[in-house]
Amino acid sequence: MTKQGYHCDSAFTGKKATENLFVNTYDFVLLDLGLPDMSGFDILREAKKNSVDSAFIVLTARSEVDDKIQGLDLGADDYLAKPFSLPELQARMQAILRRKHGIKVQTMDINGFIMDYQNRTLDYDNKPVILTKKEFDLLNYLALHKGRVLTRSQLTEHIWGDVADDDYDSNYIDVHMKNLRKKLSAHAPCDWIETVRGIGYRLNMK
């Protein structure tokens, strides 16, 4: 998953998984039911009780229908029996992402800029807008959470992964945002990316 561009944390026990869920925010949780110290069902039940917003995909060697039903009843977003292929897992993750954010097609119109999620391209008036990987990820994340203020630490964690060892006062996000705005404004005004003073950024849809 790391090779595919995801920032991943691993937990080999239920206790560690629960700690990670309490401390960090994740887009996805790939949850094995057969953990050495507790059932994955218990982790899922506790996460939903505490309103964890991550999408859960249950991974298990079990094929019984009852287990599948129990996982979905507890709030799992999907279920995969081992062994499974990585392309299938990624396809299911993308399907969950589209459902979660109400995306019915693989492209999004961001105030005239057309973003293609699958091919990772951005166009304006049928002309390509060349972005770096991190600039694309930054715009994509803002667009998925349009209208919501995202803090610098949230953006940094999403783009760079775990920020625990980084300098929270760094200007990584500000620099990338400046470069992103410059590239977008070469095609059309991008005042719809709002700086929320002292907090972070928000993408407003016109």
Does 1.10.10.10 match the CATH number of domain 107-203? yes
CB 47 within 8 A of CB 25: no
| Beta bridge partners of residue 59, listed in sequence order | 32, 80
Instruction: Fill in the DSSP letter of residue 175.
Output: H
Q: What is the mean pLDDT of each successive set of 10 residues along the chain, which is 206 residues long?
A: 81 93 88 89 90 86 68 84 80 79 75 88 95 91 88 79 49 89 95 92 92
CATH class of 14-100: alpha beta
| Beta bridge partners of residue 28, listed in sequence order | 55
What is the value of pTM for the model shown? 0.59
Amino acid (1-letter code) at residue 154:
Q
- What pLDDT was estimated at residue 105? 63
CB 160 within 8 A of CB 175: no
- What pLDDT was estimated at residue 165? 46
Domain ranges in the chain are 14-100, 107-203
Same fold, 14-100 and 107-203: no
Outline where the chain has alpha helix (H): 14-23, 40-49, 65-73, 86-100, 133-144, 152-160, 172-185
- What pLDDT was estimated at residue 75? 85
- What pLDDT was estimated at residue 62? 61
